[in-house]
Amino acid sequence: MPLPNLLAVFAHPDDESLTAGGVLARHAALGGRTAVVTATWAEDTQRAEELADALRILGAGEPRMLGYADARVPQSAPGSARFCDAPLDEAVRALVTHIREFRPDIIVTHDAHGGLTGHPDHVHTHRVATLAVQAAAWDQLYPDTGTSWQPSALYLATHPDTAARELGGPLLREGRALYSVPDDWITTTVDVGPWLEQKVGAVLAHRSEVERGALPGRIAGLPATDRVRLLSTEWYIRRSLVSTAAAQTELTS
C-alpha cells in the first residue's frame, strides 16, 4: 500500500525543520511524497535559499512559498502585506491552490497556540490551514484553483506539558512565554531518532538564523547528547477530516 502524500504548512523558513523535520525526513525516506508550504518570506531572499537547502536535506521537494511578510520582519517580502494583515480569503485561496495541486492525504501544521513560542505568524498559519483544508474540498469555492480535493487528516504539531517544561529552558530565551497542551491531548507521538541527523542538518541549513542566535543557533550550540534528548520526539494532535475508511490514514503508518 503506498504511503499517503504529506503536505506540511508552516509560517517561516526553519519552522518545517524545527517543528516537523523528523517526520518529514522519515516520510520521504520511506518513499512518501512530501512537500512544504511556507507562508512568509519572498523567493529571492537568503531565507528562501536556506529553506531550499533544508528541504533537500529532508527530501521534501522544492520550496512552495506564499510570499507574505513576516510579522516582525517587514523586509522579508518587500511590497507584500504582512501575513497576519493579508485578507483572509486571499491567503486561504493561495493555500487551497497548493492543496489541490499536491493532493495530500495528510496535512501537518502548527497547533492553535502556534507551538512553544506562540508566534503570531504561527497562530495565523494554523487558522489559514484549518480553513484551507476544508475549502479545498468544496468544488464551488475557488473553482479557478483546480479540482477539489479532500485531505484525510490534519496533524497539529504541538508539545505536551511535560515535554515543554524540559524543552523550554534550553531552547527558549529566558522570560519567554511557553505554550503547550495537556499530555492526554496528544494522539500521535513519533520517535524521529533515526532521522535526527537529517533534522538537525536541516535546522542548521538556516544559516542566517544560526548566526543571529535564534532557535537554530541555540540548537547549534547544544551538545550532541542534548540534541538527542530534546529533539528525538515529535508530538501531534490528529484531526480526522473524513468519516470513511480513508480516515484511518496515519502519519506513522
Per-residue model confidence as pLDDT tens digits over 54-95: 999 999 999 999 999 999 998 999 999 999 999 999 999 999
What is the reported pLDDT for 242? 83
pLDDT under 70: residue ranges of the chain: 243-248, 253
pLDDT at 168: 75
**Nearest by Cα to 16 from 78, 179, 92, 41:** 41
CATH architecture of the domain covering 6-248 = 3-Layer(aba) Sandwich (3.40)
One-letter identity of residue 49:
E
H helices, E strands: number in the chain = 9, 7
Q: Environment class of residue 78 by beta-carbon count within 10 Å: exposed (0-12), middle (13-18) or buried (19+)?
A: exposed
- At residue 248, the pLDDT reads 54
The pLDDT of residue 167 is 82
Give residue 249's pLDDT: 72
